[in-house]
Amino acid sequence: MKPAPFDYARPADWSAALALLAAGARPVAGGQSLGPMLNLRVATPEKLADLRHLPGYAGVTQQGGTIRIGAGTTHAAIEDGAVPGRLGAILAGVARRIAYRPVRNRGTIGGSLAHADPAADWVAVLPCFRGEAVVLGPAGERRVKLERFVTGMLATALSPEELLLAVELPALPEAARWGHWKFCRKPGEFSKATACVLAVPGEAPRAVLAALDAPPFVVADASALCAAPEAEAARLVAALDVADPWRAAIARTALRRAAEAAS
Amino acid sequence: MKRPISLTVNGRAETVLAEPRTHLAGLLREGLRLTGTHIGCEHGVCGACTVEVDGAPARACLLHAGAAEGASVRTVEGFDGDAVMTALREAFSAEHALQCGYCTPGMLVTARDIILRLPDADEARVREELAGNLCRCTGYRGIVRAILRVLAQRRG
Ligand SMILES: Cc1cc2nc3c(=O)[nH]c(=O)nc-3n(C[C@H](O)[C@H](O)[C@H](O)COP(=O)(O)OP(=O)(O)OC[C@H]3O[C@@H](n4cnc5c(N)ncnc54)[C@H](O)[C@@H]3O)c2cc1C
Ligand code: FES
Ligand code: FES
């Protein structure tokens, strides 16, 4: 199908972008989630504000122990190693399994988080890191912990007048262990259950279970899961009350496999 | 409202009158009569519309005219004299990598990207990378073999 008519603007700076949003425009980045919604007429905005040309929107910088990934950084750039160090290697492995390369060439980490599909890969994985989303709004910048950014199905902590600027994540030591399991039947499909476990020496391991039609479920101290993956995965999933027994089964398996890989 | 959209297509500067909601695939086919770019699903899944945008493969059905302003686009019509594409065309023919040809323009753009970006790809990797281009005729074997053939030729 073809989209309903809309107008298009390309703001040159951030204040122009915020002014467009205040006047009701919908932001667009890679268009890889919004594009299908426009074509299917699930979304019918009057005006789009294209963020792609804003200064500093894409790109990765490191300051001390913090790595800042601009919201406009594409999945493909992350797959190709834009993020340095151990964190970069982990994120590259996640990025490679998002959709297909032509989609990854345009789709952005910020667009993915802002869209907040519970099955999306960045939505599932980013809460595992002790990081923050940097948000720009009419009142200036504010920060939101990544585990609180996605609040529901297609719902986030952003107001319609705010933009996601970047995500900031702690750099990781080479010894950090990582387990990640994404269940999908064909490469590039949206996940049916995703789990990840991050174990940084000297810190409590963390785990996330996601893609269950609900916001990601964060286990802030996953020590028990790492010590007894099978039993603890079963206990955690049982407590989540997943309606579909098949879904519950693959969620348990994803969590167990991620924990085993990180232990 | 239609407005002039300026972009580079296959090396030529073009200005096309289009509504912002027109997608690049429609703009190429209807505005420029470049019908080599095919349209299947119009939501990013099938890969038939895959073209090169600013040097990298992209879905032409998900890039709307406004966002395409200023872009440099290369379609299946724009690879004359490109060594990898020439080798791919021969290999697609030799390996029976097409039947109806509907998926072929997108397949060729994706295949060329695989060859240039992943020169060491094995069969499993080629299949993984092809997951975003659907073919309803060939069963993929010929396509995979054609890509592996060009990879092998280039490794010498
Ligand atoms: C065929 C196909 C398969 C896919 N498979 C997967 C998959 O397996 N896993 C996966 O995770 N994703 C998948 N995706 C989605 C893809 O990852 C998208 O790129 C991503 O979800 C959205 O990023 P974008 O930059 O394209 O955002 P857009 O589509 O441009 O925007 C998405 C939403 O976010 C808003 N937005 C964008 N940027 C900002 C910002 N900076 N601040 C505030 N709001 C903003 C927009 O208004 C819109 O509502 C798939 C997409 C396609 C087409
Ligand atoms: S028509 Fe663009 S991906 Fe199917
Ligand atoms: S050759 Fe017919 S769809 Fe691929």
Confidence of residue A90 (pLDDT cuts 50, 70, 90): very high
pLDDT at A241: 87
> Does the pLDDT value for residue A1 go beyond 90?
no
Mean pLDDT score, A238-251: 93
Candidate from B44, B58, B66 with C-beta closest to A36? B44
> Does the pLDDT value for residue A253 go beyond 90?
yes
- The CATH number of whichever domain residue A216 belongs to comes to 3.30.390.50
Ligand 3, atom nearest to B97 Cα:
1
pLDDT at A145: 98
User: Residue A106 and residue B59: Cβ atoms within 8 Å?
Assistant: yes
The backbone torsions φ and ψ at residue B25, rounded to the nearest 5 degrees and listed phi first, read -60, -40
What Rg do the C-alpha atoms of chain B give, in angstroms?
Answer: 16
The whole-chain average pLDDT of chain A stands at 97
CB distance B60 to B49 below 8 Å: yes
CB distance B69 to B7 below 8 Å: yes
Give the model confidence (pLDDT) of A124-149 as tens digits. 999 999 999 999 999 999 999 999 99
Confidence of residue A113 (pLDDT cuts 50, 70, 90): very high
A114 CA from centroid of ligand 1 (Å):
8
Q: Does A244 touch chain B (CB under 8 A)?
A: no
- The CATH number of whichever domain residue A22 belongs to comes to 3.30.43.10
d(CA A124, CA B30): 40
Tell me the best of B46, B104, B107 to mutate to test the pocket of ligand 2, counting ligand atoms within 8 Å of each CB and taking the most: B46
- The structural domain count of chain A equals 2
Give a yes or no: residue A56 inside a domain. Answer: no
> Does the pLDDT value for residue A228 go beyond 90?
yes
- Starting from the CA of residue B42, give the closest ligand: 2
**Residue A156 corresponds to which amino acid?**
T
Buried b (16+ CB within 10 A) or exposed e, B27-57: bbbebbebeebbbbebbbbbbbbbbbbeebb
Q: What residues of chain B, 35 to 74, have a C-beta less than 8 Å from chain A?
A: 42-44, 47, 50, 53, 56-59, 61-67, 69
Determine which of A15-19, A151-155, A254-258, B46-50 has the lowest per-residue pLDDT on average. Answer: A151-155
Mean pLDDT score, A185-212: 95
> Does the pLDDT value for residue B156 go beyond 90?
no
Q: Nearest-CA distance from B126 to chain A in Å?
A: 12
- Which residues are within 8 A (CB) of B147 and not within 5 positions of it... i.e. 6 or more apart? B88, B91, B111, B114, B115, B121, B126, B130
Give a yes or no: residue A41 inside a domain. Answer: yes
Mean pLDDT score, A47-76: 97
Boundaries of domain holding A207:
177-262
pLDDT at B118: 98
Give ranges for CATH 1.10.150.120 in chain B.
81-155
**Ligand 1 near A17 CB (within 6 A):** no
Give which of B84, B100, B107, B105 is closest to B153, Cα–Cα: B84
Place of tokens 């122990």: A65
> Does the pLDDT value for residue B138 go beyond 90?
yes
Among A103, A104, A117, A185, most B C-beta atoms within 10 A, so best to mutate, is A103
B151 CA from centroid of ligand 3 (Å):
22
User: Residue A35 and residue B47: Cβ atoms within 8 Å?
Assistant: no
Give a yes or no: residue A154 inside a domain. Answer: no
Give a yes or no: residue A65 inside a domain. Answer: no
| pTM score | 0.97
Q: What residues of chain A, 188 to 217, have a C-beta less than 8 Å from chain B?
A: 188
Tell me the best of A28, A33, A185 to mutate to test the pocket of ligand 1, counting ligand atoms within 8 Å of each CB and taking the most: A33
Supply the DSSP string of B69-132, one letter for each residue: TT-EEE-GGG-TT-HHHHHHHHHHHHTT--SS-SSHHHHHHHHHHHHHH-TT--HHHHHHHGGG
Chain B residues within 8 A of A6 when measuring between CB atoms = 20-21
Give the model confidence (pLDDT) of A34-49 as tens digits. 999 999 999 999 999 9
Mean pLDDT score, B21-29: 97
Q: Between 3.40.50.2300, 2.40.30.110, 1.10.150.120, 3.10.580.10, what CATH number should domain B81-155 receive?
A: 1.10.150.120
ipTM of the complex: 0.97
CB distance A138 to A18 below 8 Å: yes
Chain A residues within 8 A of B53 when measuring between CB atoms = 105-106
> Does the pLDDT value for residue A15 go beyond 90?
yes
Indicate the CATH number for domain B3-78.
3.10.20.30
Determine which of A161-165, A238-242, B105-109 has the lowest per-residue pLDDT on average. Answer: A238-242
Q: Is the dihedral of CA A115, A116, A120, A125 positive or negative?
A: positive
> Does the pLDDT value for residue B1 go beyond 90?
no
> Does the pLDDT value for residue A214 go beyond 90?
no
d(CA B21, CA A26): 14
